[in-house]
């Protein structure tokens, strides 16, 4: 009983911390503005933003997404034969967050991963099942960005089905967020302070389509972002994938996304469907396993950049906001190798703007350590 009380207390404190005042003492709803002396002179390629994966997947109805995997139809047949509530079962493997978009932003999240499909005569978020209206998600973003004048956020909008309805979605984006949508720019030549000054505070990453280049506020993801998720359901395999990511990416003039997420495999879902004793397993359990290991991974690779965007499932059950804020404040001051090269801590920063961090013609130290260390290349 004592152990149970302790466990519940830890969960309670975790939730309170993520929704209230974090351990770093900053107001998470405006942490970028509070750190403007450290951040506003830097570009998005020089800092790390805390993010959420499948950000809109926090509530669902009982309508299947038109993008559902083929195996889902077979699972429904099996579930019906077994007398399993298939919608409740699918929800366990669909939900990736438990807070609204507004709550995520107030809690310090600065990258949102939204999925959209057109169904029932409107645009909705989806992940196996249909969730919240896309307009409601955009309204949450508007409510936050219009009242938090010093914050910059990145929004990725993907999995758009069907394409013949995209113009209605683009019109919705422009009407709702238009005054804050940043026009395409050179990320390594534009500071966060300049984006705030110009009120270009939402970067909208959009999939490659026939419409991307027709609107200046749609950023082609393939041009502006690099990095991919591990697609692994084992913690050690996901960690090794991300070790490779942090050691090879960065310095290419693109935002570098690091996905600290475990991905459900078809076999995981089938196992829990067929085994009554395993039906308590769900995507949240995967997320808790991954999130619990983030601190150790971060400490082990203390002077490596954990991406310009570090995203998780069930973000509240992690310290991703505190961790990224602390790294953004650090400015390489605890990196002996970096300090030994130049006391001012500006050596790598002189190269990032020209994309030379991975150029083999430069000094070996520049090509290896600088690219990985402190987030500057």
**pLDDT value at 376 more than 50:** no
Q: What is the dihedral of CA 317, 321, 324, 328, to 10 degrees?
A: -170
Express as a percent the part of the chain with pLDDT over 70.
Answer: 80
- How much is the mean pLDDT over the chain? 82
Averaging pLDDT over each range in 71-75, 224-228, 247-251, which range is the top one? 224-228
Cis previous bond, 162, omega within 30: yes
Among residues 234, 185, 225, 189, the alpha carbon closest in space to that of 207 is found at: 225
**pLDDT value at 230 more than 80:** yes
Give the model's pLDDT for residue 9: 35
For 81-112, what is each residue's pLDDT tens digit? 888 888 888 888 899 999 999 999 999 999 99
Instruction: Give the single-character DSSP code of 101.
Output: H
pTM score, two decimals?
A: 0.85
Average pLDDT over every residue of 242-255: 80
Query: pLDDT band at 21, cuts 50/70/90?
Result: very low
**pLDDT value at 129 more than 80:** yes
Among residues 298, 187, 283, 292, the alpha carbon closest in space to that of 242 is found at: 298
For 151-178, what is each residue's pLDDT tens digit? 999 999 988 888 789 999 999 999 999 9
For helices 283-292 and 235-248, what crossing angle results, to 10°?
Answer: 60
CA distance 63 to 74: 16
For 275-307, what is each residue's pLDDT tens digit? 877 767 889 999 999 999 999 999 888 767 788
User: Greater confidence, 22 or 228?
Assistant: 228
**pLDDT value at 78 more than 90:** no
CA distance 133 to 79: 28
> Which residues of the chain are in CATH 3.20.20.190 domains?
2-330
CATH fold of 2-330: TIM Barrel (3.20.20)
All residues at 6 or more sequence positions from 40 whose CB lies less than 8 Å from its CB, including other chains: 191, 192, 193, 196
Residue 268 tokens, joined: 């995981």
Residue 334 tokens, joined: 């605890």
**pLDDT value at 373 more than 50:** no
**pLDDT value at 57 more than 90:** yes
CB 255 within 8 A of CB 45: yes
CB 180 within 8 A of CB 159: no
Taking 3-state DSSP, the helix, strand and coil percentages for the chain, each rounded to the nearest 5, stand at 50, 15, 35
CA distances from 353 to 38, 186, 187, 349 (A): 18, 9, 9, 7
For 357-371, what is each residue's pLDDT tens digit? 445 554 444 444 444
CA distances from 334 to 4, 48, 127 (A): 39, 17, 42
- Annotate 148-214 with DSSP letters as a single string: -TT--EEEEEEEEE-GGGHHHHHHHHHHHHGGGBPPP--GGG--HHHHHHHT--EEEEE-S-SSGGG
What are the backbone angles phi and psi of residue 310, rounded to the nearest 5°? -115, 110
Q: Where does residue 221 rank: exposed (0-12), middle (13-18), buried (19+ CB within 10 A)? A: buried
User: Greater confidence, 276 or 29?
Assistant: 29
For 295-339, what is each residue's pLDDT tens digit? 999 988 876 778 899 999 999 999 999 999 988 887 554 455 555
Query: pLDDT band at 374, cuts 50/70/90?
Result: very low
């Amino acid at each position: 009983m004592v152990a149970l009380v302790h466990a519940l207390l830890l969960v309670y404190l975790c939730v309170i911390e993520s929704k209230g005042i974090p351990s770093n003492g900053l107001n998470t709803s405006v942490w970028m503005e509070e750190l403007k002396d450290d951040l506003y002179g830097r570009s998005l390629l020089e800092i790390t933003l805390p993010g959420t994966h499948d950000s809109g997947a926090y509530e669902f109805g009982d309508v299947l997404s038109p993008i559902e995997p083929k195996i889902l139809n077979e699972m429904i047949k099996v579930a019906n034969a077994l007398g399993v509530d298939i919608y409740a079962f699918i929800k366990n493997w669909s939900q990736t967050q438990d807070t609204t978009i507004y709550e995520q932003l107030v809690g310090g999240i600065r990258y949102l991963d939204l999925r959209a499909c057109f169904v029932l005569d409107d645009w909705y978020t989806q992940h196996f099942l249909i969730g919240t209206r896309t307009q409601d998600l955009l309204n949450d973003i508007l409510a936050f960005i219009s009242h938090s004048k010093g914050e910059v956020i990145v929004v990725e909008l993907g999995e758009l089905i069907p394409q013949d309805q995209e113009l209605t979605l683009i019109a919705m984006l422009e009407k709702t967020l238009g005054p804050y949508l940043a026009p395409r720019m050179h990320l390594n030549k534009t500071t966060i302070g300049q984006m705030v000054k110009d009120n270009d505070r939402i970067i909208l990453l959009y999939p490659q389509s026939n419409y991307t280049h027709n609107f200046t506020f749609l950023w082609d993801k393939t041009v502006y972002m690099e990095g991919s998720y591990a697609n692994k359901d084992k913690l050690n395999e996901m960690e090794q994938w991300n070790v490779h990511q942090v050691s090879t990416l960065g310095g290419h003039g693109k935002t570098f996304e690091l996905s600290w997420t475990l991905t459900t495999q078809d076999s995981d879902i089938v196992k829990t469907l067929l085994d009554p004793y395993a039906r308590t397993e769900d995507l949240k359990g995967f997320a808790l396993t991954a999130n619990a290991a983030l601190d150790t991974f971060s400490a082990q690779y203390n002077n490596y950049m954990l991406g310009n965007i570090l995203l998780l499932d069930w973000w509240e059950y992690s310290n991703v906001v505190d961790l990224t804020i602390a790294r953004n404040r650090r400015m390489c001051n605890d990196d002996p190798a970096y300090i030994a090269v130049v006391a001012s801590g500006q050596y790598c920063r002189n190269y990032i703007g020209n994309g030379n961090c991975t150029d083999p013609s430069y000094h070996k130290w520049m090509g290896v350590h600088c690219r990985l260390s402190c987030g500057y290349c």
